[in-house]
Amino acid sequence: MKMELIQPFINAADAVLAQGLQSPMSIGNLSMEQEAYRRKGVAALVAITGDIEGRIVFDLDPQTAVRVASHFAGGEVPESDDLVRETVCELANQVTGNAVTALNDQGFHFRVHPPVLHTSELGPTSSEDTEALVICCETDRGSVFMNIALRYSVELSGERAAAAGE
Amino acid sequence: MEQFASLKRSKDGQPVRYLVVDDSVFARKNLARIVETFGGQVAGEAGDGMTAITEYDRTNPDIVLMDITMPQMEGIEAAEKIVAQHPEARIVMVSSVGYQENIVAALQRGARHFVQKPVKPEVLYEVIKYVLGEDGAVANAAGAGA
């Protein structure tokens, strides 16, 4: 997976989390994942189609999700509250939307689909084209994991190969 | 959360009434909290474009805050349908996807302005003031409804 696709997501996560949580965010571990995705806690998946295809999973362990949701709600939110899951979905939506906006400025065109709660323990196995990059965003409320699996669409891959004379 | 000088309706000094449209309950609550710091009142909420149209007819709000990416009917299409029926409707698109073609499409189909998520209250406040124009007044400055 190309870093040119990843950097906008890092920038967007920084902007959304730092503004929302009103504290700095830092990037922790980055790792490639080729095994099936294993959910850590409360996770939201946003699918992207267009010139670049794939999905982003935004994943917080349950305690972190409660702390983040409580911060946004301005008061304690119980773990069972739907607002916890809603918060994770909306953060995923905002980070993806901001990243896609930046990628659009580079000439890529997309459709962003509404976030859905990712409830299964295991996700799809990454393929060679869509191996996932897992980015750990450290915040003062805990770690926020972004699992990003994107690839150029078939049409765009062909155009890029032709342009490169392959 | 920061408090702002109240925005009132010029004609009667009453709070500005908002219709908040977003498929995320979290986003709707967040927007509601923000507009309340402007002295506004949430007249209705909707989670998709279809409901937004019926809620507009029911509540006749001063401002609609409309998300773009939603199930059933997206925000730009809903904005177009509302404006077709109510040319006076003031619709502000609020979306995390802020690229130019989206903004242009929204404005061409009747939206008055665009605010990117995450929403900065001070930005939304200025946009609301701009969109209200002479139909809105800052309570402390104009004395309307103060």
- A68 in B contact zone (CB under 8 Å): no
* Section A95-109 average pLDDT: 92
Q: Supply φ then ψ for residue B21, to 5 degrees.
A: -120, 115
Domains and CATH numbers, chain A: 3-163 (3.40.1550.10)
Which positions ≥6 away from B53 have C-beta within 8 Å? B78, B81, B82, B85
Q: Is B145 a member of any domain?
A: no
* Section A39-61 average pLDDT: 92
Residue A137 has pLDDT above 50, yes or no: yes
- Our CA-based measurement puts residue B87 at a distance from the nearest CA of chain A, in whole angstroms, of 28
Whether the predicted interface score ipTM is above 0.95:
no
Residue B20 has pLDDT above 60, yes or no: yes
Burial of A98 (C-beta count, 10 Å sphere; 0-12/13-18/19+): buried
* Section B124-142 average pLDDT: 88
- A40 in B contact zone (CB under 8 Å): no
Q: How high is the pLDDT of residue B36?
A: 96
Determine the structural domain holding residue B78 and report its residue range.
Answer: 7-140
Q: How high is the pLDDT of residue B143?
A: 43
Number of folded domains in chain B?
A: 1
Q: Is B47 a member of any domain?
A: yes
Q: Is B2 a member of any domain?
A: no
Tokens of B140: 């402390």
CB–CB contact B26 A86 (8 Å): yes
* Section B130-138 average pLDDT: 95
- Our CA-based measurement puts residue A97 at a distance from the nearest CA of chain B, in whole angstroms, of 4
Model confidence, pTM: 0.86
Q: Is B14 a member of any domain?
A: yes
Tell me which residue of A30, A35, A53 sits closest to A143, measured CA to CA: A30
The CA-atom distances, in angstroms, between B111 and each of A86, A100, B48, B66, B102 are 26, 22, 16, 9, 11
* Section A69-82 average pLDDT: 90
* Residue B41 belongs to domain with CATH number: 3.40.50.2300
* Section A86-108 average pLDDT: 93
Q: Is B114 a member of any domain?
A: yes
Closest Cα in chain B to A91: B118
Tokens of A7: 């950097």
- Which of A90, A100, A109, A113 to probe by mutation at the B interface, max B CB count within 10 Å? A90
Q: How high is the pLDDT of residue B145?
A: 42
pLDDT band per the 50, 70, 90 thresholds, residue A153: confident
The CA-atom distances, in angstroms, between B98 and each of A119, B68, B77 are 29, 10, 16
Q: Is B133 left (phi over 0), alpha (psi -120 to 50) or beta?
A: left
Q: Is B116 a member of any domain?
A: yes
Instruction: Please write the tens of the pLDDT for every residue from B45-104.
Output: 999 999 999 999 999 999 999 999 888 888 999 999 999 999 999 999 999 998 888 899
Q: Is B81 a member of any domain?
A: yes
Please report the sign of the dihedral spanned by the C-alpha atoms of residue A59, residue A62, residue A67, residue A71: positive
Residue A125 has pLDDT above 70, yes or no: no
Distance CA B112, CA B92 (A): 6
**Percent of chain B whose predicted confidence (pLDDT) is above 90:** 84
3-state secondary structure A87-113: HHHHHHHHHHHHHHHHHHHCCCCEEEC
Q: How high is the pLDDT of residue B80?
A: 97
For chain B, the straight-line distance linking the first and the last C-alpha, in angstroms and rounded, comes to: 21
- Which of B26, B95, B102, B124 to probe by mutation at the A interface, max A CB count within 10 Å? B26
Tell me which residue of A143, A121, A146, A141 sits closest to A69, measured CA to CA: A141
Closest Cα in chain A to B102: A101
Q: Is B1 a member of any domain?
A: no
Mean pLDDT of chain A: 86
Distance CA A93, CA B100 (A): 18
Q: Supply φ then ψ for residue A132, to 5 degrees.
A: -95, 145
Which residues on chain A are in Cβ contact (under 8 Å) with B120? Answer: 19
